[in-house]
């Protein structure tokens, strides 16, 4: 066993330039795989973070169509419903259109009660409830723009025209790393108050309701009961789990996600071909050595282990280097992508996949060279040149 390990080590670094270039190629491939898989996971972050005891009720026609604020009391009366809040997409522009982050009007009394993953201090919540034009923002955008409690933040409306002035009264942080910390919340009653003056026909309406249920197992029945309340009304509802609601957004870009996945596996396929070619070259060069080992009494298993060990060693060196580089590169990506992909972390499952793929590539690349070394007769191998 010791002799085998020594030979694997020496063979791995015998052709140093070739090994270095192959390791670097493997590292780039695994790095690309980890980053592309992280992009897909970041896209699904809202789905994975969805709560099983929250439902979302929206207009059955389209999400952009509003619902009356009066629906809240009717939904509260449905058996199994423990709490109801609402939100409204605001849109708007901060500085310029490139500075994007989600901006929503919410019910100041109940919204944060239904989202315990958004951690806000009691003092911040008190100020939010006290001041009409108060807002609460996520930690990441507060740090990005250098905001402080009491700062005035002006948004230019696009859905709701005009200049909207808010005062930062609180900062929330996520309970876990998978919570989006780039959102901007302000009071719905402040929005409604201003809309009554400028767009009276749009007053008294919300974008969607968030419904908390006591028993997630009853989510289907409760969803049906809510939708039945408003059937044949001018604003029918479509109620679904929060996960299904988030999946609806992801489905709009499903083709892009499939393309990203395909590219990530194409990269792996390319490096498999490169490493297989490297090992084939190595095997041809060492045919006389393999014949000598056979003559000395080393069997086919030893030769197979020797070739596979070298191949896996090169693949793992590149894989580990690529996985190590993925952390600083992901940090740069996260900073540059900002609010477009607010949750961009290399997950343990991605590293596990990268490690497994590295071993698999190493083993597959050794199959043909090992087969040739085993099948080639000693006399033929000894006369083999290059």
* pLDDT for residue 249 is more than 90: no
Confidence of residue 340 (pLDDT cuts 50, 70, 90): low
pTM score of the predicted model:
0.77
Number of residues that this document lists for the chain: 386
Q: Which of 175, 166, 178 is nearest to 104 (CA)?
A: 166
Q: How far apart are CA 52 and CA 55, in angstroms?
A: 8
Give the residue with greater pLDDT, 40 vs 184: 184
Range with the poorest average pLDDT among 77-91, 146-160, 274-288: 274-288
Range with the poorest average pLDDT among 40-49, 133-142, 215-224, 324-333: 40-49
Q: How far apart are CA 294 and CA 184, in angstroms?
A: 71
Encoded tokens for 230: 């408003």
Q: Mean of the pLDDT values across residues 31-60?
A: 84
Task: Classify residue 113 by its DSSP letter.
Answer: G
Are 26 and 319 contacting, i.e. CB atoms less than 8 angstroms apart? yes
162-174 and 205-206 strand pairing: unpaired
pLDDT of residue 83: 95
Range with the poorest average pLDDT among 184-193, 227-236, 367-376: 367-376
Q: Where are the domains of the chain?
A: 2-45+254-382, 61-235
Q: How far apart are CA 287 and CA 292, in angstroms?
A: 9
C-alpha dihedral sign at 81, 216, 179, 245: negative
Residue 135 bridge partners (DSSP): 168, 186
Q: pLDDT tens across 96-145, in order?
A: 888 888 999 999 999 999 999 999 999 999 999 999 999 999 999 999 99
């Amino acid at each position: 066993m010791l002799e085998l390990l020594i030979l694997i080590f020496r063979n791995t670094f015998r052709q140093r330039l070739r090994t270095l270039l192959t390791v670097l190629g493997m590292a780039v491939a695994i790095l690309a795989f980890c980053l592309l898989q992280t992009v897909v996971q970041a896209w699904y972050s809202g789905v994975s973070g969805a709560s099983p005891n929250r439902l979302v009720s929206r207009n059955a026609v389209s999400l952009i169509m509003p619902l009356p604020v009066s629906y809240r009391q009717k939904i509260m009366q449905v058996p199994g419903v423990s709490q109801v809040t609402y939100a409204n997409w605001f849109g708007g522009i901060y500085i310029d259109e490139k500075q994007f982050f989600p901006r929503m009007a919410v019910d100041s009394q109940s919204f944060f009660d239904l989202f315990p993953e958004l951690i806000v201090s009691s003092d911040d919540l008190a100020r939010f409830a006290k001041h009409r034009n108060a807002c609460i923002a996520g930690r990441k955008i507060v740090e990005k723009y250098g905001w402080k409690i009491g700062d005035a933040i002006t948004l230019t409306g696009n859905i709701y025209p005009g200049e909207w002035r808010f005062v930062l009264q609180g900062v929330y942080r996520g309970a876990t790393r998978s919570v989006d910390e780039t959102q901007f919340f302000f009071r719905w009653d402040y929005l409604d108050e201003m809309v009554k003056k400028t767009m009276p026909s749009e007053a008294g309406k919300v974008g969607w309701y968030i419904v908390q249920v006591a028993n997630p197992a009853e989510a289907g029945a409760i969803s049906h009961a809510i939708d039945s309340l408003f059937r044949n009304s001018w604003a029918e509802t479509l109620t679904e789990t929060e996960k299904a609601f988030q999946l609806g957004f992801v489905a709009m870009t499903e083709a892009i996600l499939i393309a990203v996945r395909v590219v990530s596996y194409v990269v792996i396929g390319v490096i498999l071909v490169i490493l297989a070619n490297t090992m084939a070259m190595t095997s041809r060069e060492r045919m006389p050595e393999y014949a000598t080992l056979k003559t000395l009494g080393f069997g086919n298993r030893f030769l197979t282990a020797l070739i596979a060990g070298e191949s896996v060693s090169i693949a793992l060196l590149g894989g580990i280097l690529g996985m190590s580089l993925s952390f600083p590169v992901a940090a740069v990506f996260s900073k540059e992508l900002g609010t477009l992909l607010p949750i961009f972390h290399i997950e343990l499952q991605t590293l596990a996949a990268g490690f497994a793929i590295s071993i698999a590539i190493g083993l597959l690349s050794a199959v043909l060279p090992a087969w040739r070394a085993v099948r080639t007769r000693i006399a033929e191998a000894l006369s083999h040149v290059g």
